[in-house]
Structure 1
Amino acid sequence: MASEPSKLDIQLRDEVKETDLSSRMSTTTEEAGEKQLEPPANDTSPSPEGPQEGDALSDYLTGYKLLTLLCSVGLIFFVLLLDNSIISTAVPKITSEFHSLPDVGWYAGAYQLASSVLQPLTGKLYTYFPTKWTFLCFFFVFEVGSLLCAVATSSPFFIVGRLVAGLGVSGLQNGSLTIVAGAVPLEKRAFYLGLVIGAGQLGLVIGPLIGGLFTQYVTWRWCFYINLPIGAVAGVLLALLRCPEQVVKAPFSLALVRRVIPQLDIFGFILFAPAAILLLLALQFGSGNTYAWDSSVIIGLFVGAGVSAILFLLWEWKAGDVAIIPFSMVKNRIVWASCLQYVALISSVFVGTQYLPIYFQAVKGVGPVLSGVYLLPSILSQIIFVLGSGALITKIGYYLPFAVLAGIGATIGSALISTWGPHTSTGMWIGYQVIYGIRGCGIQLAVVAIQNALPAKQSQLGVSFLVFCQTFSAAVFVVVGNTIFTQSLINGTIKQVPSISPADVLRAGGSADAIRSLVPPGSPELAALLRVFSTSFDTVCYLMIALASISVLASFGMGWVDTRKKPQEKPEAIAEA
Structure 2
Amino acid sequence: MPLEQYHESSAERRHRHLSGAESENAVTVSDTVQPSIDGVADDLEKTTKIKTEDNSQEYVSGVKLGLIVVSVSLACFLTVMDISIISTTIPKITDDFKSLVDVGWYGSAYNLGSAALVPLTGKMYNHFNLKWTFLVFFLAFELGSALCGAAQTSAMLIIGRTIAGLGASGIINGSFTIISTSVPLEKRPPFIGACMGISQLDQVIGPLIGGAFTTGYTWRWSFYINLPLGAIVAVPLVIIHIPEQIAKQSPLRVLKASTVFSTLSASPCLHLIGLFCGAGLNAVVWAFWNRHRGDEGLIPTSMVQRRIAAISSLNYGLFMAVVFGGVFYLPIYFQAIKEKSAMLSGVYLMPNILPQILTTILTGVLGKTHIQPSFSQSSLTCLTVPKVGRIPPFALFAAATTAIGSGLYGTFQPNTSTGKWIGYQILAGVGQGFGFQMPLIAIQNDTKPEHFAEATSLLVWAQYVGPTIFIVAYNTLFTSSLRSEIPKHAPNADVEAIVAAGATEFRKLVSAEDLPAVLVAYANAIDHVFFLVAAVGVLAFLAAFGMGWSDIRQKPAAPGTSNDDGSSSPAQA
Report the TM-score when normalising by structure 1: 0.70
Which of 445, 469, 481 aligns to 1:476? It is 469
Instruction: Give the corresponding residue for 2:49.
Output: none
Structure 1 residue 215, shift from structure 2 partner: 3.7
Q: Give the letter aligned to residue 435 of structure 1.
A: L
More displaced 10-residue stretch of structure 1: 347-356 or 547-556: 547-556
Structure 1 residue 347, shift from structure 2 partner: 0.9
Q: Distance in 2 between matches of 1:323 and 1:155?
A: 36
Provide Cα deviations, 1:252-297, integer angstroms capped at 9, x if missing partner.
Answer: 4xx354554449733133223259835xx9xxxxxxxxxxxxxxxx
More displaced 10-residue stretch of structure 1: 317-326 or 166-175: 166-175
CA contact (8 A) 2:108 2:472 kept: no
Which of 403, 415, 418 aligns to 1:423? It is 415
Q: Please list, as runs of the form range in 1=range in 2, the aligned pairs for 1:64-463 lying within 5 A after superposition.
A: 73-87=72-86, 111-112=110-111, 114-129=113-128, 134-147=133-146, 149-150=148-149, 161-176=160-175, 200=199, 203=202, 206-234=205-233, 249-252=245-248, 255=249, 257=251, 260-262=254-256, 265-274=259-268, 277-278=271-272, 301-390=275-364, 391=378, 392-393=380-381, 397=386, 398=389, 400=391, 401-438=393-430, 439-463=432-456
Structure 1 residue 325, shift from structure 2 partner: 1.3
Structure 1 residue 73, shift from structure 2 partner: 4.9
CA contact (8 A) 2:118 2:457 kept: yes
Q: Distance in 2 between matches of 1:55 and 1:89?
A: 54
CA contact (8 A) 1:205 1:353 kept: no
Q: Distance in 1 between matches of 2:447 and 2:77?
A: 28
Q: 1:155 to 1:508 in 2, by over 3 A?
A: closer
**2:511 partner SS:** coil
Structure 1 residue 545, shift from structure 2 partner: 1.2
**2:85 partner SS:** helix
Q: Give the letter aligned to residue 262 of structure 2.
A: G
Structure 1 residue 99, shift from structure 2 partner: 10
Q: Distance in 2 between matches of 1:363 and 1:221?
A: 24
Superposed CA RMSD in Å reads 4.7
Structure 1 residue 490, shift from structure 2 partner: 1.0
Structure 1 unaligned blocks of 5 or more: 1-13, 22-53, 282-299, 569-577
Structure 2 unaligned blocks of 5 or more: 1-16, 25-52, 365-377, 558-573
Structure 1 residue 228, shift from structure 2 partner: 3.1
Provide Cα deviations, 1:458-510, integer angstroms capped at 9, x if missing partner.
Answer: 43333333222222221211110001111111111121211112212211221
Instruction: Give the corresponding residue for 1:466.
Output: 459
**1:424 partner SS:** coil
CA contact (8 A) 1:264 1:322 kept: no
Q: Distance in 1 between matches of 2:382 and 2:82?
A: 31
Q: Distance in 1 between matches of 2:210 and 2:198?
A: 17
Q: 1:94 to 1:386 in 2, by over 3 A?
A: closer
Q: Distance in 1 between matches of 2:533 and 2:324?
A: 9
Q: 1:184 to 1:215 in 2, by over 3 A?
A: farther
Q: Give the letter aligned to residue 250 of structure 1.
A: I
Q: Distance in 2 between matches of 1:84 and 1:110?
A: 11
Q: Give the letter aligned to residue 507 of structure 1.
A: A
Q: Distance in 1 between matches of 2:554 and 2:191?
A: 16
Provide Cα deviations, 1:193-220, integer angstroms capped at 9, x if missing partner.
Answer: 9986776565356545423432443344
Instruction: Give the corresponding residue for 1:533.
Output: 522
Instruction: Give the corresponding residue for 1:287.
Output: none
- Structure number with higher helix proportion: 1
Structure 1 residue 548, shift from structure 2 partner: 1.9
Q: Give the letter aligned to residue 223 of structure 2.
A: F
CA contact (8 A) 1:130 1:249 kept: no
Q: Distance in 2 between matches of 1:180 and 1:553?
A: 37
Which of 485, 488, 493 aligns to 1:495? It is 488
Instruction: Give the corresponding residue for 2:43.
Output: none
Structure 1 residue 417, shift from structure 2 partner: 1.9
Q: 1:226 to 1:342 in 2, by over 3 A?
A: same
Identity of aligned residues (%): 43
Q: Give the letter aligned to residue 550 of structure 1.
A: L
CA contact (8 A) 2:214 2:342 kept: no
CA contact (8 A) 1:124 1:264 kept: no
Q: Give the letter aligned to residue 415 of structure 1.
A: G
Q: Give the letter aligned to residue 226 of structure 1.
A: I
Q: Give the letter aligned to residue 78 of structure 2.
A: V
Q: Give the letter aligned to residue 119 of structure 2.
A: P
Q: Give the letter aligned to residue 268 of structure 1.
A: S
**1:265 partner SS:** helix
Q: Give the letter aligned to residue 362 of structure 1.
A: A
Report the TM-score when normalising by structure 2: 0.70
Structure 1 residue 436, shift from structure 2 partner: 0.7
Q: 1:97 to 1:540 in 2, by over 3 A?
A: closer
Across the two proteins, how many residue pairs are aligned to each other?
A: 492
CA contact (8 A) 1:275 1:306 kept: no
Q: 1:218 to 1:141 in 2, by over 3 A?
A: same
